[in-house]
Each structure stands twice: as C-alpha cells, then as structure tokens.
Structure 1
C-alpha cells in the first residue's frame, strides 16, 4: 500500500520541478483540465498547411507549433522568455522554422503585410494593431485565448475576491472590439467554460509557478498558510474543482 505524501513532501517536490517550456506532462495523474471542443492544434495545423507565410506569436516552447503536420514555406515564431526561446529554437530549426526573440508588448520585428496567417495560443496579450499591420490583405489571425475569470476559484483562494474589471479583463467581446478597432473583420468567435481538477497540493504549486500571472509573485513561503488550508480541503473533500475559460477568435484583414 502506497503511503500518501505529506504536505511538506508534495510542496517540496513541486517547488523543485522544472517549469521551463509549455509542457504540462508533469500534471499527469495530479490534475485534469477539460479541453475546448474546437481542437485548436488540429485547426491551426490545417490553416498552416494552406499558408504561404505564417507567424506564430508567443510560441512558448514551440510545443503546439511542433504538432503541426505541415509547415508553410515561410514559418516564423516569436517568443520573449529566454528558456522558452531556446527550447522553441531546438524544436523548430530542424523543420526550417525561424524563432525570433520578441517580448509580447514590443512591436513585431517584421515588415508590413509579411504574413498571410498569424497564430497564437494563449498569448499574454494581443497587440492588435501590430497583428493587423503584419497581415497581408485577406490574411487571417487565428488564436485560442484565455477568457474571463479563468481558474478564479483558485486565484481568489490566494488573493481574495477580485473586482469585476479584473474578472472580465479577458472577455471575448473586448477582443472583438479591439480586433475591429485595428481594422480586422471578426469572422469567428466561440467561448467555453471548462472543468479543472487539482488532485493534490503539488499540482497547485506547480501550476502557480508555471502560469505566473495567475497569482503574481507567488512563492511557497509567501502563501504557505493558503497552501496548507487548500491541502487540508483536498484531503478532506477530494479534488479542488475550478473552471478555465477559453475563446477562439478568427479575424481577417480586408482586401482593398
């Protein structure tokens, strides 16, 4: 019979685990997340196969892009985190893709109208004017994004109740308005609320270390009381349930 790990052991294990790249395999058997019905990676791959020149913004470690069966003749990706940049370069270079260092809030280092497809999965933020600028007329922006109040059951356990402007900061209606203000036509917009389960406190620690914007400044020492109370809740009641929100947006640059 396996003896369950203690709070201190679970926390120490998660605190020592690597959080580089955008690989979530560490969570296997420790957390689950329902996936959106639209299948972003498959849909992105279909669009990449038809493109002549494509850009993947905030590519992370390049894992999602690596899943595409066929890349266009010109394939470029941007990433701002040095560790992710190195991993993405290793994954992409053998297939002829170029990975460029660029922070999420900086202008895109590409010419006007350079791409007929721009993609992005879970961008920290979307620079709509720059996205529209680098698209060719008739080109498409295709992105899966984090929606409003995503996993806020967990966030508010650590930070307390959040104001409505924070809870709705990533609302898909705001994305539509921003895309249209940049001169793009929104041709598709879908949203879903999805179940997330954390089976032990180690999964919570790893998640908050990896997705650093959920609880800014998170450290085990800073939030030890909240971690311990959540551990006791999981031990007593079972998995901690939260809900992620995702939306899929497709926008097109009009032809003259």
Structure 2
C-alpha cells in the first residue's frame, strides 16, 4: 500500500457541496450553546423580506421555511450554487451569485459561516433591519494544526471583537454578541483526514502523503485514548441598522 493510501481510503470520497453527514458518529461536538436556527426563526416571524448570504447548499435556509414573501439567497461557489438552486427552487427562492445591487431591500440578513461585507449590509438592510450572523473564528480546530505540525490556518485574528468593530464602524448597532470554544472529538483518523480535505484552508498544503508521520502518531493516540479532542471557535453577532 502506498504511503498515505490507508488514510485516503478511510476518509472516503470528498463531500458534494457542504454535506457533512459522513461525519456523524466520527466527530462529536462543535456546536455552540445557542441555536442559530432558533434565533433566525424568531426574526423571520416578523419579516417580509430576507437575504441569506452565502447560503451554501441551501439546506439551512430550506429548514427555516416558511420564509418571507421576498427571500433571496446568495451563493458564489460554483460547487454549491446548482445544489442550492435545486433545493430552493420549490420554495420560490432565487439563488444569485453576487450581492443584490439595490438599497433598503431586506428586513433581515442572515449569514451563517459566510461573509460580512459591512458596507453592503448597511446598504441592503432597511431601517431597523436586522443582521444575524454566526461565524467560524480563526482559532477553529487549531489543535489539528498543532498536532500535525502545520502552520496556523489564519494569519489575522477573526473573532467577535474584530467583527463587532467592523460592523459598528459601518454604522450598524450591535445588539447581541456571543463567543464560545466548544470541544470537538475525532474518533478515528479517517475523519481527521476527511475534515482537512473538505476544509482546505485549515492546512493549506495538506495531503495524507505529506503528513503521513504525524497522522500515524495521531492514529496511535486515537486508538489508545478513544478519540482526539480539539476546540472549535464560534461567535454570533446580531446588529441593527438604525
């Protein structure tokens, strides 16, 4: 068997779009204490228009139905866009590849793990419109980088403080901020490999062949201890355009 082949095989095929059902039972944790869908649903009950920024494959947005009469999703990654369009078309939701060009258009803007273009958010929100975002912080899964001897995933910090400063500078009033580092446990080395293949920004030069030796050490650790635990990094911000 060639170097790294066992880890390629244990990881399986790469996910289609952002589908991570393959991780069920192979990693445990990563969810913060708040419910992003629950907070989003509360906002949508009184909204007539919604923009979902970087909707991914559209799965979460579809789960929030019934949606406001005027709902638009944005997804620019070519691998996700057709999946999102197929999923959201029955709900009457168009999926754009760029931000809408108008102004004062949306009561609510959602961005779960997507971009936060502060100036555009101010432009797109109606007065008293609300932004709700959950972000993956720059410390996310940093323990994987340490364990494999890889450089940090991010050169600049991305956390609640940085996001709040940018949104406030653009003119939004921040009304809620939460930040947590929930634990994540990987129960086999194949799930680590798959995670790093599907999230290529975590270790940018990652291949099982290149990281064979540290993967061997991690595999031994998991077999001895039943899992390998690192921390995720999540933060949530709600802001209003006054």
Q: TM-score under structure 2 normalisation?
A: 0.91
1: distance between equivalents of 2:121 and 2:148?
35
Deviations 1:66-93 (A, max 9, x none): 1113100011111121121111111101
Q: What does residue range 59-208 of structure 1 map to in structure 2 within 5 Å?
A: 59-102=55-98, 108-123=99-114, 125-160=115-150, 162=152, 166=155, 169-208=157-196
Q: 1:48/1:219 Cα in 2 relative to 1: closer, same or farther (>3 Å)?
A: farther
Give how far 1:8 is off: 4.5
Q: SS of the counterpart of 1:69?
A: coil
| Structure 2 residue 1 is the aligned partner of structure 1 residue 11 | no
State the partner residue of 1:218.
206
1: distance between equivalents of 2:65 and 2:41?
7
* More off after superposition, 91-100 vs 235-244: 235-244
State the partner residue of 1:3.
none
* More off after superposition, 16-25 vs 26-35: 16-25
Q: Is the 8 A contact 2:54 2:74 kept in 1?
A: yes
Q: SS of the counterpart of 2:120?
A: helix
* More off after superposition, 139-148 vs 195-204: 139-148
State the partner residue of 1:56.
52
1: distance between equivalents of 2:107 and 2:138?
29
Give how far 1:162 is off: 4.1
2: distance between equivalents of 1:207 and 1:169?
21
Q: What does residue range 235-250 of structure 1 map to in structure 2 within 5 Å?
A: 235-250=223-238
Give how far 1:218 is off: 2.3
Give how far 1:110 is off: 2.5
Give how far 1:153 is off: 0.5
2: distance between equivalents of 1:59 and 1:99?
9
2: distance between equivalents of 1:218 and 1:100?
32
Q: Is the 8 A contact 2:136 2:235 kept in 1?
A: yes
Instruction: Please give the root-mean-square deviation of Cα atoms over the aligned residues, in Å.
Output: 1.9
Q: TM-score under structure 1 normalisation?
A: 0.87
Q: SS of the counterpart of 1:236?
A: helix
Q: SS of the counterpart of 1:208?
A: helix
Q: Is the 8 A contact 1:45 1:67 kept in 2?
A: no
Deviations 1:142-192 (A, max 9, x none): 0111124111111222354649x83x6112111110000111000100111
1: distance between equivalents of 2:44 and 2:199?
27
2: distance between equivalents of 1:214 and 1:86?
25
Aligned length: 239
Structure 1: tracts of 5 or more residues without a match: 1-6, 103-107
Structure 2: tracts of 5 or more residues without a match: none
Q: 1:207/1:162 Cα in 2 relative to 1: closer, same or farther (>3 Å)?
A: closer
